[in-house]
Structure 1
Amino acid sequence: MTLTQLEIFAVVAARKGFTLAASQLKISQSGVSHAIRALEQELGVALFERQQGDIELTDIGSRLLQRAQAMLGLAETMRQEALDALGMKRGTLRIGSFGPTASVRLLPAILAAYRQAYPGIEVHVDEGPDRQVLQWLQERRIDVGFVVLPEEQFDTCPLLEDQMVVLMPTDHALAQHPAVTLKQLCLDPFVLTEAGSAEIVSRLFLAARLQPRIRYRTSQLLSTLEVVARGDGLSIVAQSSLPLRTTLDYVQRPLDPPVMRTVGLAVVDERIISPATRAFIELARTLPRNVAD
C-alpha cells in the first residue's frame, strides 16, 4: 500500500463519496475508485459498503481508517521535520476549535501571530462542539484542538481559566444577589445550552443531587441568551463565551460556591507532533493573558 492510497481512503471516508473525494483531491473519479479497489484487494477486506450510490465504512474499514490517519499523521510529521530544517517555509496545520471561547477569544490572536511568524504554513480550522473536537483528535483528523480540561487521554496545555456564571433577566429577583446557588436555580425554568458547557453544567447538578427544571435545550449560545433575555428561563454558561458587546438584556452572576473552567490545547502524543503543531502550541502559551483581556 502507498501513502497516496491511504490519503484517498481517508478523504473518501470523510467526504462519504467518490465524486466529492475526487474533486477535493483533484483527480479523476476512476482514479479514486481504482485506488480504493487496489487497497481493498491488498488488505483482503471491504473498506466500504456501497448501496445505491451511497457509501459507508464497514466495521473493519472504520478500524483501519484510524490506523491510516495515524500513518498519514506520522508521514506529515516527517515531512514537516524535514521542512523544519529549511525554516518551516512550507507545511500544514489542522486545528479543531469550539465555541466563542476558543474561536473568538483565543484563536484569532494566536492565528494572527502564527501567520506572521510562519506565512508558509497552510492552516485549516474545523469548528464544532467540544465533544466533536475530541473525536477529531482521536481520529487524527486534526493536529491540535482546543478542549475543556482536564482531558487525561491527551497531552494538553492550559491557556485560559474562567468561571461559570448564571444568566438571568435584569429584573429577576436573583439579580439582587452577589452570587447564586444551584439550589436557587432549581426554582425557575432552566435553559441548557449544548454549545460547549452542557456536560459541565449537568455534572454540577448531578454532584449536588439537584434536578433543574430544563425547559429549553439550545445548540447555539445566542439562542440561550435570547431565551434568558425574554425572561423564559435561567442558564449557566462559561463567562468567556459571552459576547463582549450585545443588545440583549440580561445579567450574569457567579455561582456560589464558584466553579472554574480551564480551556487549553490538546494533542494525541506530544512526542510525535509536527514542528508546525509544536510552534503553534509554543506561540499560544505566550498569548492567553492578552487574549482573555
Structure 2
Amino acid sequence: MVMNMNNLYIFIKVAETMNITNASKELFISQPAVSKALKNLEDMLHVRLFIRDKKQGLMLTDVGKDILKLARQMQSIEDKIYQIADYENNLIGSTVKIGSVPTVTANILPKVLATFRLQYPHVQIKLVEGSSNQIKEWVEDRVVDMGIVAAPFDSFESEALYTDHIVAVVPEDHRLSEENKINLRENQHELIFCKSGQEITLDKLYEKSHCDLKNNLIVQNTETLVRMVENKLGIGIISIFSLASQPHNLVVKAIHPPIDVDVRMITHSFEETTPATKAFIKAMSQCTSEIFDSTATAQILSKIIYIKKTLALH
C-alpha cells in the first residue's frame, strides 16, 4: 500500500481549517477535489478521519487526531529532505514555523527576523503568538517547528534564551516609592498585570504567596500598564525585559516574594530540526544575547540584583 502524500497534505490543511471551502481556497484547488482526497485517504486507511456534525461542522475523530500528528511528522521529514538538498543554495524555498509568547514577539523577534532575513532572504517565516501552554501544544502536535515559552518546559528539549525578573513599578510620589521592596500579598488588591505575561506571573504569584487576584486590573500591553500606573491606578507588576522597552518615569522596585521567569526555545529535538530551523535558532540565541547586553535592560537588572543582595544581608 503506497501512501498518496498529496492526499495526506490536503488532510492536514482541512484539519487546520476545519472547513473544506477554506482549505480549497488556501490550496488553490476545487472543493470536490478536496472532498475526493479525503474520501480516498479514508478508504485507503479504512477509518473515518472526520465527523460531519450539522451544528459544529467538521470534527476530527480520535484516530484522525492521531493520524494528524503522524502526518505532520511526515510533512516535517519531507521539508527537511528538501531543505538539506537546498542548503547549498542558501535555504531557498525553506519555511520555519515559530510559536512565540507576546513579550518575545514584541521585544526580541523584530531584530531576529531582520538579521535572519539579511542572511537567508529566501526562507519563509510563519509566526503565531500564544500563551506558553498553547505553544507547547503546537510543538507537541508539530503545528510549529519550534516554540519560545516560559517555564516549565515539560519533556521538550530546550535551549535557554534568558531569565527575566518580575518587578513592581510605582509613581515617584507613591507611598511605597521609598521602600526597598513591595510585598505583593500586603498590596494584592492594588496590583496591575500585563496580559502578555499574565499566565506565568499569576501562576507563580499564587504559588508563592496565595494572593487573591480576582479583582486586579489586567491590561493588554506594557504601554497601557505604564499609563495606568502613571495615573495612580495601582502598582504595576511587569517583567524587567518588557519594562526596558517602554519609556517611563516610574520607580522600579523589587517584589516579595521574588518571581523569576526562565524563557527558552523548545522543540522535539534540536538535532532533528530542519536546517532552516537550526539557522533560525542560532540567530535567535545571538540576537537575544546582544539585546540583553543593552544599556536599558542592564541598568534595571543591576539595580534589582543590588536590591536583592541588600535585602539578603538583613
Instruction: Give the TM-score range, shorter chain.
Output: 0.7 to 0.9
Structure 1 residues 235 and 205: alpha-carbon distance in aligned structure 2, compared to 1, 3 A threshold = farther
Match of 1:79 among 70, 77, 82: 82
For residue 42 of structure 1, report the CA deviation from its aligned partner: 1.4
Letter matched to residue 24 of structure 2: A
Q: 1:105: which partner in 2?
A: 107
Residues 141-290 of structure 1 mapped to structure 2, 5 A cutoff: 141-186=143-188, 188-208=189-209, 210-216=210-216, 218=218, 220-222=220-222, 224-242=225-243, 244-246=245-247, 251-256=251-256, 258-290=258-290
Match of 1:3 among 2, 5, 29: 5
The superposition leaves residues 208-236 of structure 1 with CA deviations (integer Å, 9 ceiling, x where unpaired) of 3x323431363623555555444444342
For the 8 Å contact 2:205–2:211, the answer to whether it is kept is no
In 2: Cα distance, 1:58 partner to 1:251 partner = 54
For the 8 Å contact 1:96–1:146, the answer to whether it is kept is yes
Once the two structures are aligned, what percentage of the paired residues are identical?
27
> Larger relative contact order (C-alpha < 8 A, sep ≥ 6)?
1
For the 8 Å contact 2:184–2:257, the answer to whether it is kept is no
Letter matched to residue 106 of structure 1: I
Give the gaps of 5 or more residues in structure 2.
295-314
For the 8 Å contact 2:131–2:199, the answer to whether it is kept is no
Structure 1 residues 134 and 35: alpha-carbon distance in aligned structure 2, compared to 1, 3 A threshold = same
For the 8 Å contact 1:191–1:233, the answer to whether it is kept is yes
Give the gaps of 5 or more residues in structure 1.
none
In 2: Cα distance, 1:92 partner to 1:192 partner = 35
TM-score by length of 2: 0.82
How many residues matched?
289
Structure 1 residues 73 and 217: alpha-carbon distance in aligned structure 2, compared to 1, 3 A threshold = farther
Q: Secondary structure at the match of 2:271?
A: helix
Match of 1:14 among 16, 29, 33: 16
For residue 182 of structure 1, report the CA deviation from its aligned partner: 2.9
Q: 2:43: which partner in 1?
A: 41
For residue 246 of structure 1, report the CA deviation from its aligned partner: 5.0
In 2: Cα distance, 1:67 partner to 1:154 partner = 17
TM-score by length of 1: 0.88
For the 8 Å contact 1:156–1:265, the answer to whether it is kept is yes
For the 8 Å contact 1:168–1:175, the answer to whether it is kept is yes
